[in-house]
Amino acid sequence: MLSYLANPQRFMGFSAWAAPLFAVLAFVLFAVGLPWALFYSPADYQQGETVRIMYVHVPAAWWAMGVYAFMGGASFVGLVWRHVLADIAARAAAPVGAVFAGVCLVTGSLWGAPTWGTWWEWDGRLTSMLALFIIYLGYLALWSAVEDEEKAARLAAILCLVGLINLPIIKFSVDWWSTLHQPASIMRSGGSAIDPSMMGPLLTMAGAFLALFGALTLYNMRAAIFRRRVEAAELRGAGA
């Protein structure tokens, strides 16, 4: 499948129908997930209504890391096999991942204030997530700073691969260090500790974030391919 789509012509054919499909899927999942999370899911017996922040905070955190892992895979392919489409995919995903990481940090702060009594704490989980956000910004800045796109792609791929080390640090920070942040309650040995009535809206919102990521990344990739075509045509025109 991936090698089939590695051809830009085939990718444009695939993304022409896949991007709007993901967009519609994201819209439907948000239309279901947002009211479910805000009004139809129960309040927590300890956290009260603040638990509803979980339905945006947790998917944003999951996919901020998931998008970065995707970028890591694409960067590896771009670096090893010098595949332009892989570089385009990594770059196209980065702004979406950066927004997810930013949303995770802000909503986490808004959740921390009433539950922990503080907006911020320099502990392992919060600091490593802030580091991920900064790595995203650095990655995007690097792409913009280097004019030669081939060189920019190589440097950005190396930065992205080095930054992958942060993902296990984020995941296991709550086990390795003393922290205000709660330990893993869904992806943990022994099964999920979350009540099923809260799992439905959480997974729906996680699906909505994922579908939105798919749509935005595909549209971003299409824009990048169109831009390269336009610039190549302009160069040919200038040379003629």
Partner 1 sequence: MIEGGWDYVWPAYAVTIGALLVVTVVVALRAMHWAKRARALEPKKDERA
CB 179 within 8 A of CB 124: yes
For residue 235, state whether it binds partner 1 (rule: CB under 8 A). no
**Given the structure tokens 């040919």, which residue do they identify?**
236
Helix axes 84-116, 124-145, angle to 10 degrees: 150
Q: Among 9, 46, 144, 178, which residue sits at the site for partner 1 (rule: CB under 8 A)?
A: 46
For residue 91, state whether it binds partner 1 (rule: CB under 8 A). no
Q: Among 29, 89, 142, 212, which residue sits at the site for partner 1 (rule: CB under 8 A)?
A: 212
Question: Quick one: 128 or 220, whose CB is closer to partner 1?
Answer: 220
- Radius of gyration over alpha carbons of the chain, in Å? 20
CB 92 within 8 A of CB 220: yes
**Given the structure tokens 């940090």, which residue do they identify?**
105
For residue 56, state whether it binds partner 1 (rule: CB under 8 A). yes
Question: Quick one: 86 or 218, whose CB is closer to partner 1?
Answer: 218
For residue 195, state whether it binds partner 1 (rule: CB under 8 A). no
Torsion angle, alpha carbons of 133, 33, 213, 24, to 10: -160
Shortest Å distance, C-beta 71 to partner 1: 16
Residue type, 234: E
Q: What CA–CA distance (Å, rounded) separates 154 from 95?
A: 18
Torsion angles phi and psi, residue 43, rounded to 5: -75, 155
For residue 198, state whether it binds partner 1 (rule: CB under 8 A). no
Question: Quick one: 16 or 194, whose CB is closer to partner 1?
Answer: 16
Interaction mask 98-137, partner 1, x per CB under 8 A: -x--xx--xx--xx-xxx----------------------
For residue 220, state whether it binds partner 1 (rule: CB under 8 A). yes
Question: Quick one: 95 or 138, whose CB is closer to partner 1?
Answer: 95
SS3 164: coil
Give the chain's length. 240
**Given the structure tokens 């190549």, which residue do they identify?**
232
Question: Quick one: 157 or 216, whose CB is closer to partner 1?
Answer: 216
What the block records as the tokens of 202 is 């959480």
Query: Measuring CA to CA, how many Å separate 87 from each of 7, 93, 98, 210, 223?
Result: 13, 10, 17, 20, 14
Question: Quick one: 76 or 120, whose CB is closer to partner 1?
Answer: 120
Question: Quick one: 43 or 194, whose CB is closer to partner 1?
Answer: 43
Q: What CA–CA distance (Å, rounded) separates 143 from 153?
A: 7
What is the total count of residues that contact partner 1 (CB under 8 A)?
Answer: 40
Binding stretches for partner 1 (CB under 8 A): 34, 38, 43-53, 56-57, 60, 95-96, 99, 102-103, 106-107, 110-111, 113-115, 212, 216, 219-220, 222-224, 226-227, 229-230, 233
